Amino acid sequence: MRNILILIFAGLLSCQSSEKKILTNGKAEPGTNTSLARAGLSEKEVIDSYIYLMARYFVIRQERLDTAEKNLGYNKIKYTPLGKTDSSNPNLDVAYLEAWVAVDDKTCQVLEVPKITNRYYTVQVMDEWAGVITNINERNYPQHPNGAFAFCLKNGPETPKGSLRVDLPSYKAKILARIERKGSDGEAVRLLKAFKLVRNDETEIEPPQKIPMFTNEDLIRGEAFEYPMVETVLRSAPDGMKLKDDLQNRVRAVAKYAAQSDANKKQIEDLIQEKALPQLNRYLGSMGERKNSWITTAPYRDGFGEDYWFRTATTYVGIWWNQSKEVVVFISKKDMNDRELLGDNTYLMHFEKDQLPAKEVNAFWSLTVNPVTRSNISNLSKLTYGRDGSLTLAIGAKPRSNIPLTNWIPAAPGKTFSMILRMYSPKDSVLSSQWTAPPVIQIEGLDLQKTSQR
């Protein structure tokens, strides 16, 4: 009996000792979930705050990288060489230019858009949180599809004469113009070079915010919440999301908590490393809508809405995502059996006659393998169709004897890869997800009689 009492007494002392580690004079031990809760925060709120904040950090990082390029800076157009794949958001389908536009309370910047007919084009205008302000094209501006467009601060200076005004929510915006190559690269490049940004040299331009530079492989983590940098980042540009006030107040609460002690700071760092980043990586594999072996951006017709996870994810993996009503993107990294795509294998995509991608777009479509191994397949490719009017595409390191070479996209042997199907100016069937890309099927051992080509 005496031994039992001793054990009970020892257990009580142990519990009291543990409790003292969490509570000291009625205060929670720094760096614990108890101290986090007493600050009015949960682990989920810390993770959500980090995900929200990173969208702005990604844009600032890109601004610093872009404007640091020789002879570039602000209010100057950068014409990207055709077929270049090492840009921040490579695209083999189009001729492409970009620029950072900077304005102030007294001045605007004017973009001259050439007349473009019978060829897809758009000028995508982005805010400083990567949200789409507008797309300049004949679909959105049928009465003024070309000519002069003046980028001006909202409620700011008068519109320059002869220009159509585009209001900007802050002093800077990113513009990206894309023109369909359409099998005539010379004409696409000519049209691209006809875009002119009439620079107003009187504009006073603020330099980009100073942040620690980071890579996608080594993201900024707890340091993102450090004062005064985090407050500067939040105040540097308005966010159009309705949830912004609550989210930014939460960011400030996390920053205040982290600043209180080294233990709290380490706790936030560990939470990001051990939970936020793994959750973000898992989200990347399921963002948007998943159908067959593809994820698609189709539900985001008019932009991000209030989905800050989607905004940060797209800004992370392919900055300057556009609205789905301009282009719906299908991405596949796995086959229909949820296995990673590997270049050593051969995969099949089969479109029935009434499901051909060309029928589901008002402009054009394309399919690209990443890492890029050759120019993509698109509606302009000389494809071979089946006797029943269907289309079968094969992807892999080696061509198949029963699949025409015209329908084959090579993939790098021994490496995993992904595929991107882009549908430009998609029809409602794509936007509503009534139409979706067919499953990606590993075809070894598969009976291909029904997909035979003529």
Q: Which long-range contacts (CB under 8 A, 24 or more apart) does 160-166 make?
A: 160/108, 160/110, 163/108, 163/110, 166/125, 166/133, 166/134, 166/136
Torsion, Cα of 323, 370, 70, 213 (10° steps): 80
| Structural domain includes residue 138 | yes
Q: What angle do CA 38, 41, 45 make, to 5 degrees?
A: 170
Give the pLDDT of residue 85.
63
* Residue 447 counted as domain residue: yes
The token pair at 257 is 């908590």
Give the CATH number for residue 327: 2.60.120.600
* Same domain membership, residue 186 and residue 305: no
**pLDDT for res 359:** 97
Tell me: do 194 and 326 sit in the same domain: no
Q: Is 66 contained in some domain?
A: no
Name the domain boundary from 183, 198, 213.
198
Residues 303 and 179 in one domain: no
Whether 188 and 294 share a structural domain: no
* pLDDT in the model for residue 374: 64
State pLDDT tens for residues 198-255.
999 999 999 999 999 999 999 999 999 999 999 999 999 999 999 999 999 999 999 9
Percent of the chain surpassing pLDDT 90: 81
Number of independent structural domains in the chain: 2
Supply the pLDDT for residue 451.
Answer: 46
pLDDT digits (tens, 9 = 90+) for 27-59: 789 999 999 999 999 999 999 999 999 999 999
Structural contact between residues 419 and 440, judged by C-beta atoms closer than 8 angstroms: yes
Of 168, 198, 228, the residue at which a domain comes to its end is 198
SS3 for 414?
coil
In this prediction, residue 450 carries a pLDDT of: 45
Among 164, 198, 232, residue at a domain's last position:
198
For residue 115, give the CATH number of its domain.
2.60.40
The answer to whether 196 and 111 are in contact (CB under 8 A) is yes
Q: Is there a domain that residue 236 lies in?
A: no
Tell me: cis bond preceding 30? Omega within 30 of 0 counts. no
Residue 27 three-state SS = strand
Residue 237 lies in a domain: no
State the residue range of the domain holding 120.
75-198
pTM of the model: 0.89
The token duo for 57 is: 């950090």
In a domain, 213, yes or no: no
For residues 294 and 434, state if they share a domain. Answer: yes
Please answer whether residues 113 and 119 qualify as being in contact, where contact means their C-beta atoms are separated by less than 8 angstroms: no
Strand order in the sheet with 121-126: 78-80, 94-102, 172-180, 121-126, 132-136
Summarize pLDDT for 418-447 with one digit per residue, the tens: 999 999 999 999 999 999 999 999 986 444
Higher pLDDT, 13 or 351: 351
CA distance 46 to 36: 9
User: Do 172 and 307 reside in the same domain of the chain?
Assistant: no
Distance between CA 387 and CA 450 in Å, rounded? 10
Are 182 and 317 members of one domain?
no
